[in-house]
């Protein structure tokens, strides 16, 4: 009597024994598809008379009830792990249920993290866009990407996304962006860093400055002039070219800064305009012209001797002369009248040497005569009265 009673109670609950849920593959990894099949071994010939539905943790999957005993889940993720079963409903509304199947989706740890740049090669022009691309060869699920700058690892940005690559963008590259970078990726199994990538920001040269130095106050034929050209900004190496009346005199390279110099032995034909050019492969820049006219002897009482002698401007890229050893320096210091530009020449002479020269009454040989006095008179520039300054 008791066994018959237990059978009657168990009958409704045991009905799922005729319905099977087949999972393929049975141990899926994240991102891979899974096929679910609701199988009725004892009623294969009459499957078309049933409606099927698949469930995970009491939630219906797919389109709900359907005449198809199969369902494909295109991409399984870690959060899709759970208890799955299927149900079949007869035309008489009788519902059959399969046993539950536990599906555990396996996550693949990230591996082989790399950092690449756009533009490639880690070189970018100042002002251009720079992109740091962090990639993993494998890894599933949500991956967190982090970008770091420098040896101390300054965190620049963090992104979490379901992707094998992520990008960090520097819209406008600056000189301060030249540094080493690396990225880190992780998806719950610990961080994995990339290798270091060095970024070089290429900077075009600025307009160079030309300075001309003579060994004495009275430069004569045979003396050696030193032409020094320097661009204050620009990526190295920088190639400098020196010109006289747009004819190339020579060139010199500065591999690590400081400008370049060219020595010129004076001849009578060397009067005229001098300039220099700087080029680091990102565009050339030409300096302003310096005009030098070499003439013959004249008396120390020439009005030009009374030109005001302001203290020459000192540039940080030049070594300051020691007291008593100052050399004449010709530079791009101009007086402008209309469309004419007159280059001034400043010369510093030790006081005791000047006094001795006055006492002896020696005649000075003109180092460089720019005809400033006469040209300024012709240009009607009256801001400076040189005769009053005598």
- Residue 130 belongs to a domain: yes
- Residue 134 belongs to a domain: yes
Cis peptide before 25 (omega within 30 of 0): yes
pLDDT of residue 91: 78
- Residue 140 belongs to a domain: yes
- Residue 70 belongs to a domain: yes
Q: What angle do CA 42, 43, 45 make, to 5 degrees?
A: 130
In Å, how far are 132, 290, 335 from 182, measured between CA atoms?
9, 49, 54
Given a contact cutoff of 8 angstroms between Cβ atoms, the answer to whether 276 and 206 are in contact is: no
Given a contact cutoff of 8 angstroms between Cβ atoms, the answer to whether 74 and 34 are in contact is: no
Using the 3D structure, point to which of 292, 311, 336 is the last residue of a domain.
292
Q: Which residue has the tokens 């045979």?
A: 222
Say how many CA atoms lie within 13 Å of 343 toward its Cβ.
21
Using the 3D structure, point to which of 83, 103, 123 is the last residue of a domain.
103
**Token output for 198:** 């060095």
- 8 φ/ψ angles, rounded to the nearest 5 degrees: -65, -40
| Rounded (10°) CA dihedral 146, 114, 109, 156 | 0
pLDDT of residue 6: 34
What CATH number is attached to the domain comprising 85?
Answer: 2.60.40.10
Sign of CA dihedral 137, 142, 143, 145: positive
Domain co-membership, 77 together with 116: no
Total number of domains in the chain: 3
- Round to whole Å and give the CA distance between 305 and 193: 72
pLDDT in tens, the chain (390 residues): 433 333 333 334 444 447 899 999 999 999 899 999 998 776 554 445 789 999 999 899 988 899 899 999 999 999 999 999 999 988 777 888 999 999 999 999 999 999 999 999 999 999 999 999 999 999 999 999 999 999 788 999 999 999 999 999 999 999 999 999 999 999 999 999 999 999 999 999 999 999 988 887 777 788 888 999 999 999 999 999 999 999 999 999 998 878 999 999 988 888 889 999 999 999 999 999 998 877 564 344 444 333 333 333 333 223 333 333 334 444 444 433 333 333 334 344 444 333 333 333 333 333 333 343 344 344 444 343 333 333
> Whole domain around residue 262: which residue ranges?
208-292
- Round to whole Å and give the CA distance between 277 and 334: 19
Residues 6+ apart with CB under 8 A from 82: 56, 57, 102, 103
**Token output for 254:** 């500065």
- Residue 143 belongs to a domain: yes
């Amino acid at each position: 009597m008791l066994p018959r009673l237990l059978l009657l109670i168990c009958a409704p609950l045991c009905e799922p024994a005729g319905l099977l849920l087949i999972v393929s593959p049975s141990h899926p990894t994240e991102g891979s598809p899974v096929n679910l099949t609701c199988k009725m071994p004892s009623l294969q010939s009459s499957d078309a008379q049933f409606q099927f539905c698949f469930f995970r943790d009491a939630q219906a999957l797919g389109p709900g009830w359907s005449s198809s005993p199969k369902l494909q889940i295109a991409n399984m993720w870690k959060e899709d792990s759970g208890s799955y079963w299927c149900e079949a409903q007869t035309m008489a509304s009788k519902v059959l249920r399969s046993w539950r199947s536990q599906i555990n989706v396996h996550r693949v740890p990230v591996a082989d993290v790399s950092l690449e740049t756009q533009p490639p090669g880690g070189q970018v022009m100042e002002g251009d866009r720079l992109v740091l691309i962090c990639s993993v060869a494998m890894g599933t699920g949500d991956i967190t990407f982090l970008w770091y700058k420098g040896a101390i690892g300054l965190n620049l940005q963090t992104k979490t996304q379901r992707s094998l690559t992520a990008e960090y963008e520097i819209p406008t590259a600056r000189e301060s962006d030249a540094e080493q970078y690396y990225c880190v990726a992780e998806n719950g199994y610990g961080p994995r860093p990339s290798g270091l990538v060095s970024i070089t920001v290429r900077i075009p040269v600025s307009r160079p400055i030309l300075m001309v130095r003579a060994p004495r106050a009275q430069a004569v034929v045979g003396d050696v002039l030193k032409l020094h050209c320097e661009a204050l900004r620009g990526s190295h190496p920088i190639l400098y070219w020196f010109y006289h009346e747009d004819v190339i005199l020579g060139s010199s390279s500065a591999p690590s800064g400081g400008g370049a110099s060219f020595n010129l032995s004076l001849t009578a034909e060397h009067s005229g305009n001098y300039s220099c050019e700087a080029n680091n492969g990102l565009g050339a820049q030409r300096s302003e012209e310096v005009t030098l006219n070499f003439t013959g002897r004249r008396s120390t009482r020439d009005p030009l001797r009374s030109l005001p002698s302001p203290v020459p401007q000192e540039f940080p890229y030049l070594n300051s002369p020691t007291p008593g050893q100052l050399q004449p320096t010709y530079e791009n210091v101009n007086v402008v009248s209309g469309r004419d530009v007159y280059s001034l020449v400043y010369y510093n002479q030790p006081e005791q040497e000047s006094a001795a020269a006055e006492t002896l009454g020696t005649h000075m040989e003109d180092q460089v005569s720019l005809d400033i006095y006469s040209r300024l008179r012709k240009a009607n520039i009256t801001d400076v009265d040189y005769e009053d300054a005598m």
